[in-house]
Structure 1
Amino acid sequence: MAVGNLQALRSPVGYARAAAAIFACVAFSLVVHSGWWAGREGGWCVFAWVFCFVATVLVLGVELTGAQARVPVSWRNGPITLAALASLMCLSASVIYPLYFLSGAGGEAYRYGVAATVFSCLATAAYGAEVSLTRARPGEVTGYMATTPGLLKVVETFAACVLFVFVDKAGYSHYGGLQWCLAVYCICFILSVAVVILSVGECTSWLPVPFDRFLGAYALLAVLLYASALVVWPIFCFDRRYGNSSRSQCSGHYRCRWDAQVAVAVLTGFNFLVYLADLVYSSRLIFIKA
């Protein structure tokens, strides 16, 4: 029989989780009440807030009932992975919602939208605080996802998801070079997700090679692949021989194909730097299993 653990809620981590759940709940409640969330962008924002709220409530429920041993995931890796993902999801909603909905809103819908954006930002900060409180400290025995390379894996996968959205809008079927870039994004995304799943599910022993060696080899491979995409994508998108060389060809549209191509180039550079940092940390990390 599970024994209650109120101390889990009274700790700094518990306060951060409770605050994050409340802020996310208020954010999606305000938007749903106003009805100002149509389209894919609005649907994503509401999904992000609802997912974060439900996931955090489940984590709090497990902590309060002391049922960590009965959950089929590593409790050293699961909650911090969810917190890192939730912080990125709320951050994206905090940017997307005002960008797509507040500019054309007015009256009550605008006020609700502003309030929802504020609470979304607060939820982002609360999840960031949880990650800061639960991440690994020097010399501490913990799970891989609580280390810097583990948290970087969450950033890499989320950035890749955003990349896929912009790649679809930018177009990639005209040239083999752009298809190569898409293959790079897919390969690295799949491998990063696999690392997260293996860590959260405590299945790293299934690998035919030591986990730390696999991480180092994968980080090096990802850096090389993203370095190639960092060069190839701009050539086939911005060179006059292959694609648009300036935004002047967008005919004054607020968002056009050229904007998506620039976004992909920027996100490729960002993820390259993240993978480079991952490689540096992975080469220095001494991972100790409890």
Structure 2
Amino acid sequence: MGYFLRLLQLLSTCVAFSLVAGVSTLQAAAGSWSIFVWCFCFVMTLIILIVELCGLQSRLHLSWDGFLITCASCATFLCLSGSVIFATACIQLLPHSPFGDHAIAVTAFSSLASVAYATEVVWTCARSGEFSCSVLTLPGLFHRLEIFVACIIFAFISSPHLYVHQPALEWCVAVYSICFLLSAVTLLLNWYNWDNRLPVPVPLVHLGLTLLSALLYASAVVLWPLYQFNGEFGGQPQRSSDVSCRDKLTSYICTWDQRLAVAVLTAVNLLIYVVDLVDLARRFFY
């Protein structure tokens, strides 16, 4: 079952990328994010398959099932985001493009990859025999949602011209990167058995990292909209003032839309961190 799911994941991501790579119009629609998602998931799955075929997982000092669950759950969110972003772009491009069948096929294979990765999460949890599988608990779900939203934010800020002109906006980008790394560290603590290796309890480390991330995101929630949409700080309060939004032939998502999407996603991730913080504090103190 595991090898079958790996092959299905490799096939679906490879076909999605190949169809996009063969048509320049679809490349413009997919953007760098969707292409990166399919390539990253393909390479990650290929490496996992090679490790399992060679029997190298026993030499890695980590919980292999926990590692597989984390990779598969993150790949599920990534492929799902790639499908949504690509399909949304094609809705605007299809009236002007003769490659409608290719776009539908790409969306279908990307969605198939999401289903294959989600199936692997459920199957691995059932096979490992762990009743309290980490991905099915609230802390595990919160960590993966935080990483997922951060990845979507990175997709929208892939253009440096959105933030290089203001130190405050560069700070927001640094916040997204730092919090992404902190969430990754939290996942690493879950993979390894660090209970007896750290001078402080692991739940307290999780609580501290989550608190720090929530404070950093709170600053980004204030600074990003202030410097992007307030005219006194060099922002553009109205969408019509952005020249790129009036040129529909060169970009399906204009710069102002990207700024708004990042502002909304920042607020969403702050909410996730706050809920995660409250849940961790309840578990630690009670």
Q: TM-score, normalization: structure 2?
A: 0.76
Amino acid at match of 2:64: W
8 Å CA contact 1:205, 1:211 repeated in 2: no
Equivalent residue number for residue 219 of structure 2? 228
* Higher helix residue share: 2
Q: 1:249 aligns with which of 222, 241, 254?
A: 241
The 1:245/1:127 distance shift into structure 2, 3 A limit, reads same
Corresponding position: 1:91 with 2:80:
yes
Equivalent residue number for residue 280 of structure 1? 278
Equivalent residue number for residue 163 of structure 2? 171
CA separation in 2, counterparts of 1:169 and 1:121?
Answer: 31
8 Å CA contact 1:170, 1:258 repeated in 2: no
Corresponding position: 1:116 with 2:114:
no
- The 5 A counterparts of 1:162-241 are 162-167=152-157, 168-171=160-163, 173-174=165-166, 176=168, 178-200=169-191, 202=193, 206-241=197-232
Task: Give the unaligned 5+ runs of structure 1.
Answer: 1-8
8 Å CA contact 2:26, 2:103 repeated in 1: no
8 Å CA contact 1:76, 1:146 repeated in 2: no
Amino acid at match of 1:248: S
The 1:36/1:179 distance shift into structure 2, 3 A limit, reads closer
CA separation in 2, counterparts of 1:16 and 1:183?
Answer: 36
CA separation in 1, counterparts of 2:215 and 2:193?
Answer: 28
CA separation in 2, counterparts of 1:14 and 1:283?
Answer: 40
Equivalent residue number for residue 70 of structure 1? 59
8 Å CA contact 2:29, 2:90 repeated in 1: no
Equivalent residue number for residue 151 of structure 2? 161
8 Å CA contact 1:145, 1:199 repeated in 2: no
TM-superposed deviation, 1:120: 0.7
Seq. identity, %: 39
CA separation in 2, counterparts of 1:133 and 1:281?
Answer: 27
8 Å CA contact 2:80, 2:110 repeated in 1: yes
The 1:93/1:153 distance shift into structure 2, 3 A limit, reads same
SS of match in other structure, 1:77: helix
SS of match in other structure, 1:120: helix
Q: 1:130 aligns with which of 110, 113, 120?
A: 120
Q: 1:267 aligns with which of 265, 268, 272?
A: 265
The answer to which of 209-218 and 223-232 deviates more is: 223-232
Aligned residues: 272
Equivalent residue number for residue 45 of structure 1? 34
Amino acid at match of 1:264: V
TM-superposed deviation, 1:83: 0.6
Q: TM-score, normalization: structure 1?
A: 0.75
Amino acid at match of 1:268: T
CA separation in 2, counterparts of 1:199 and 1:125?
Answer: 25
CA separation in 1, counterparts of 2:64 and 2:85?
Answer: 32
The 1:163/1:48 distance shift into structure 2, 3 A limit, reads closer
CA separation in 2, counterparts of 1:266 and 1:41?
Answer: 21
CA separation in 2, counterparts of 1:20 and 1:164?
Answer: 24
